[in-house]
Every structure is written in C-alpha cells, then in structure tokens.
C-alpha cells in the first residue's frame, strides 16, 4: 500500500511540475503582419514574379487580398509567433509558408520582412515580402 501511495504522489508531483513549466514558458504573441506587402518570388519554373497582398489580422488569424500575375483573390491563414502559413483562393491556388522578421515593440515582432517557400500546381518556389509603408 505504501509503494502505491508513494508512486501516486510522485506521479502527481511530476504532472504538476510539467504543468508549471508549460505555463511559465508562455508563447510569444503572433507577429504583426497587418498591412500592405510586396512579394518577390522565384517559381518552380525559375521565373521571377512580383505580387501584392493586403493582410488583415485578428490575433493569430489572417485574411486579406492577393494579386499576382494573371490572378487575384482572397487569402486566409494563420500566424504563430513568427511563423506564417496562408493560402490564396485564386484559380491557381498558392500555399505560402514563411518566417516574419522585424523589430520588437512591447514584445511583439513588427513585421517588416517575410521569407519562405510556396507551392503551386507546378511545384515549390521561394518568396520574400517587404512591408509597404
């Protein structure tokens, strides 16, 4: 009986310690990416392209408008700390992944640049974006 009680106490202590560490290591707030952006990309075919997007942000959720060569439409996605993921609702759907960089103001990264990869029906390409001021 005593071994059971000792094991139960140790298990409870381990669980509470783990929970306390997770609370203490709180996530950073999502980077601020709201506004107008100019995207420069190199597609799977090796061609350079320029696109623009307008992003609206509510916490970790983003939405907005995308305009690229020959197509335009809505975009939607998420941002978790400095990691962004969004896709376009266009005739040729695009999925963008990247990392947001910029100065911190009151603990929140103010997005000035984003870089990463994107995928379309032909494959994967590279992209970077700059915040239009």
Confidence of residue 24 (pLDDT cuts 50, 70, 90): very low
- Using DSSP, state whether 17 is helix, strand or coil: helix
Beta-carbon contacts of 69 under 8 Å, excluding residues fewer than 6 positions away, are: 49, 50, 51
pLDDT digits (tens, 9 = 90+) for 87-122: 999 999 999 999 999 999 988 899 999 999 999 999
pLDDT digits (tens, 9 = 90+) for 37-93: 999 999 999 999 999 999 999 999 999 999 999 999 999 999 999 999 999 999 999
Q: Could you tell me the two tokens for 10?
A: 């140790």
Q: Which pTM value belongs to this model? A: 0.78
Domains detected in the chain: 35-132 (2.40.128.120)
For residue 112, the model assigns a pLDDT of: 95
Residue with tokens 């799977």, as numbered in its chain: 44
């Amino acid at each position: 009986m005593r071994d059971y009680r000792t094991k139960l106490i140790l298990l409870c202590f381990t669980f509470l310690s783990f929970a306390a560490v997770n609370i203490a290591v709180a996530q950073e707030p999502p980077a601020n990416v709201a506004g107008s952006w100019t995207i420069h990309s190199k597609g799977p075919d090796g061609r350079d392209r320029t696109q623009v997007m307008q992003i609206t942000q509510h916490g970790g959720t983003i939405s907005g408008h995308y305009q690229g060569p020959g197509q335009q439409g809505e975009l939607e996605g998420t941002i978790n700390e400095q990691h962004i993921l969004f896709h376009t609702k266009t005739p040729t759907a695009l999925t963008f992944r990247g990392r947001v960089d910029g100065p911190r103001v009151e603990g929140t990264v103010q997005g000035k640049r984003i870089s990463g990869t994107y995928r379309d029906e032909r494959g994967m390409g590279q992209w970077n974006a700059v915040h239009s001021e």
